[in-house]
Amino acid sequence: MNVHEFQAKQLFAQFGVPVPRGKEVTSPEAATTWANELNTPVFVVKAQIHAGGRGKAGGVKITKDKAAVAGLAKELIGKTLITHQTGPKGRKVHRLLLEEGANIAKELYLSILVDRDTGWPTFIASTEGGMEIEEVAEKTPEKIIKEAIDPAVGFQGHNGRNVAFALGLQNMEPAVINPFVQMLGNLYRLFMEKHAALVEINPLIITKEKTLVALDGKVSFDDNGLFKHEDVQKMRDLNEEDPLEIEATANNLNYVKLDGNIGCMVNGAGLAMATMDVIKLAGSEPANFLDVGGGATKDTVAAGFRILLKDPNVKGIFINIFGGIVRCERIAHGVIEAAKEVKIAVPLVVRLQGTNADEGRKLLAESGLKLDVANDLWEAAQKIVKLTGKAV
Amino acid sequence: MSILVNKNTRVVVQGITGKEGSFHATQCKAYGTKMVAGVTPGKAGQEVEGIPVFNTVADAVKKTECDTSLIFVPPPFCADAILEAADAGVKLIICITEGIPVNDMVKVKRALHGRDVRLVGPNCPGVITVDEAKIGIMPGFIHKRGVVGVVSRSGTLTYEAVHQLSTLGLGETTCVGIGGDPVNGTGFVDVLPLFEKDPETQAVVMIGEIGGDAEEKAAEYIKKNVKKPVISFIAGITAPPGRRMGHAGAIISGGKGTASEKMKALEAAGVRVVKNPAEIGHAVKAALGR
């Protein structure tokens, strides 16, 4: 789960990581009120959406004129921002972060995540603050500093010093070395205690006043750890999610919307991905990823149908089930019942394999429903692609 | 021969009185696996399908000499359950549970490091040595004893591959599900040397997916150490970047972990990579010259 910059900064403040004074505002009036209270030489108005690249897309405004803040807020609220991370449709701005400006002397990059190779939480730092870290890693890998933290003992001072001196803080501003080490310790605590998946500060700045400030902030959380943190759950912003994906989550389905025209419904995540791949191989494009889980029942299949059919791009549906512990004839019953409940006007191909597959296929064939039954994966994929026509 | 588990493996089921635990303990027992104990704290003295239940894994080990644990404990308590099994002296821990927080697994992995214990999973279907021991949730009947070792990050996709191998008469030795989580116990590089050494295994099917670099690491290992033919399928060539595809570990992040990168690395290591999952079985057959 992702959260907004202003929420990330609230968490930073809670864990002793310095951030600019700022607040979330959702109207020009609230912006004016907060601007009066903030009373700073420079005001920064930042659009809050779950995507990077806001600055380039015109989502960040800076002014020295307090009276201009309301106008900037009005301009941004309701605006649709298109960045390299939002896709062509862009994202509508519902809320803003209004904060004080800072005197930047130097910009750095800092993040922490679990290195999948070692299984250890690892800090990544670079002197190239403000740039995309992937780009830095690609072009100048020598500028990437990594420091793994032993989870058995947690963050130690030397971990922080290793990063500080590797960055060359002693040459930039020696006064920030100790606060920097302390900040890394605080970020490690935030990362572990809140079950974060990524904490990123880009840029982390050294100010002309010789202090450190997290000028931007990104935090994403491990969905599997959310149950432990009610405060984090409350930070979820449904405006930032696809409505179909929200509906899927409510039905305990794993759904990711894609751009193709063949809707697919599969049991198991690996097989669901493989099914998408087979559709592509057969000459078309999948409209989604949908894993109905091991125990595909009538209710989950019906919910799956409803979600798939709400996507106007879907011109055909491919159900691919490998019956394991769950027997195929029960899944066939589920499909038949669900298909009666939900009107399906597009071609439907059902591929059943595994436990009692023959009985399942027979039930489907005799159900009177308009559908094609297949037993081989490749045969089924070719069938649905033929029935829907090629993707445009 | 086979790897990891066989007909002498003695299994304790942690979380045996739960819905999943009791159902699958029964299924494993019916397959012929030696299911000797179960653990649910506070329920000692009960039985599940004739399997005695204990309060702690330590008690189960003392009374039944179980050497392998199969875990169905729910996510909030699962890290604790894995560590309990390790502390009780169980040598192989197979964790089926899906949804364990990553940072919990970070601590578990560190705690198990350097100890004489192997963790398979979490978020995996388990391990089966055909006709000897089924320790997991996979449907036993699709397997047929044969010559192919299978190692996979996925569940139902593995069944798909196994079904093809069985139907073509090739059959399997042992199938190991290493799970779909970003931080797990046993990896491809831990299983590959076991298959390479196993005299009965003639070829290995390796099923990977997007996310992380386990497949690249496996490619490196195969290039240097594996002489048996390896056939691989990588799921997710059509998966978009930045989106989690069901499994917690199946995500392309920062442009890394794409299916095509993995396929390229494996092909460079001499692995036969199939693009169509429906052709896994045929590719193995061809590789074995049958």
Give the pLDDT of residue A331.
83
Residues of chain A neighbouring B248 (CB-CB closer than 8 A): 222-224
Contact of B221 with chain A, judged by CB distance below 8 Å, is answered with no
Of A135-139, A217-221, B158-162, B199-203, which gets the smallest average pLDDT?
A135-139
How close, in Å, is residue A32 to chain B by CA atoms? Answer: 37
Domain boundaries along the sequence of chain A = 1-19+103-240, 21-101, 243-388
* Mean pLDDT (whole number) for B166-182: 97
Topology (CATH) of A1-19+103-240: D-amino Acid Aminotransferase; Chain A, domain 1 (3.30.470)
- Whether B276 and A378 lie within 8 Å, measured CB to CB: yes
Q: How many CB atoms lie within 10 A of CB B45?
A: 8
- Pair A144, A124: CB distance under 8 Å: yes
Of A44-48, A186-190, A329-333, which gets the smallest average pLDDT?
A329-333
Contact of A55 with chain B, judged by CB distance below 8 Å, is answered with no
- Asked about B143 being catalytic, the answer comes back as no
Interface test with A, best of B80, B150, B156, B245 (most A CBs within 10 A): B156
ipTM: 0.93
* Mean pLDDT (whole number) for B41-65: 97
- Whether B103 and A280 lie within 8 Å, measured CB to CB: no
Contact of A134 with chain B, judged by CB distance below 8 Å, is answered with yes
All domains of chain B, ordered by start, with CATH? 10-120 (3.40.50.720), 138-287 (3.40.50.261)
Topology (CATH) of A21-101: Dna Ligase; domain 1 (3.30.1490)
**If phi over 0 gives left and psi between -120 and 50 gives alpha, with beta otherwise, what is residue A154?**
left
- Whether A378 and B107 lie within 8 Å, measured CB to CB: no
Distance between CA atoms of residues B28 and B32, nearest Å: 7
- Whether A289 and B75 lie within 8 Å, measured CB to CB: no
**Per-residue pLDDT tens over the stretch B195-226:** 999 999 999 999 999 999 999 999 999 999 99
Distance between CA atoms of residues B98 and A370, nearest Å: 36
- Asked about A24 being catalytic, the answer comes back as no
Residue A168 is given by DSSP the state: T
What would the two tokens of residue A286 be? 């999948």
How close, in Å, is residue A43 to chain B by CA atoms? Answer: 32
Give the pLDDT of residue B210.
96
pLDDT reading at A392 higher than 50 = no
Contact of A141 with chain B, judged by CB distance below 8 Å, is answered with no
Give the pLDDT of residue A375.
82
- Whether B101 and A225 lie within 8 Å, measured CB to CB: yes
Chain A residues 280-319 with CB within 8 Å of chain B: 280-281, 285-286, 289, 291, 294
Q: Per-residue confidence at B290, pLDDT binned at 50, 70, 90?
A: confident
Mean of the per-residue pLDDT values for chain B? 96
Strand partners, A120: A115
Which whole-number Å values give the CA distances from B104 to A184, A323, B28, B153, in the listed order?
A: 20, 32, 28, 20
Q: Are both A21-101 and A243-388 of the same fold?
A: no
- Pair A81, A91: CB distance under 8 Å: yes
Contact of A222 with chain B, judged by CB distance below 8 Å, is answered with yes
What would the two tokens of residue A56 be? 């380039």
Of A323-327, B66-70, B170-174, which gets the smallest average pLDDT?
A323-327
pLDDT reading at B79 higher than 50 = yes
* Cβ within 8 Å of residue A261, ≥6 positions away: A284, A285, A287, A313, A314, A315, A316, A388, A391, A392
Residue B154's closest CA among A275, A43, A255? A275
Strand partners, B93: B69, B119
Residues of chain A neighbouring B244 (CB-CB closer than 8 A): 223, 256
Altogether, the residues listed in chain B come to a count of 290
What would the two tokens of residue B223 be? 């290039």
Contact of B241 with chain A, judged by CB distance below 8 Å, is answered with no
**Per-residue pLDDT tens over the stretch A343-383:** 888 999 999 988 788 899 999 989 888 889 888 899 999 99
**Per-residue pLDDT tens over the stretch A245-295:** 999 988 889 999 999 999 999 999 999 999 999 999 999 999 999 998 766
Q: From the list A223, A270, A289, which residue is nearest B155 (CB)? A: A270
Q: Per-residue confidence at A153, pLDDT binned at 50, 70, 90?
A: very high
Q: Give the whole-number percent of chain A exceeding pLDDT 90.
A: 75
Residues of chain B neighbouring A120 (CB-CB closer than 8 A): 106, 110
* Mean pLDDT (whole number) for A208-237: 96
How close, in Å, is residue A375 to chain B by CA atoms? Answer: 11
Residues of chain B neighbouring A242 (CB-CB closer than 8 A): none
Give the pLDDT of residue B90.
98
Mean of the per-residue pLDDT values for chain A? 93
For strand A60-63 and strand A120-126, is the pairing parallel, antiparallel, or unpaired?
Answer: unpaired
Give the pLDDT of residue A390.
60
Q: Given the residues A5, A99, A109, A128, select the one marked as catalytic.
A: A109
Residues of chain A neighbouring B250 (CB-CB closer than 8 A): 269-270, 273
Q: Which CATH class is domain A243-388?
A: alpha beta
Chain B residues 41-70 with CB within 8 Å of chain A: none
- Whether A116 and B158 lie within 8 Å, measured CB to CB: no
- Whether A119 and B109 lie within 8 Å, measured CB to CB: yes
Strand partners, A214: A204
Which whole-number Å values give the CA distances from A311 to A259, A355, B189, B239, in the listed order?
A: 10, 31, 41, 18
Q: From the list A223, A278, A280, which residue is nearest B278 (CB)? A: A278
- Whether B138 and A324 lie within 8 Å, measured CB to CB: yes
Interface test with B, best of A85, A112, A114, A116 (most B CBs within 10 A): A116
Q: Per-residue confidence at B74, pLDDT binned at 50, 70, 90?
A: very high
Contact of B101 with chain A, judged by CB distance below 8 Å, is answered with yes
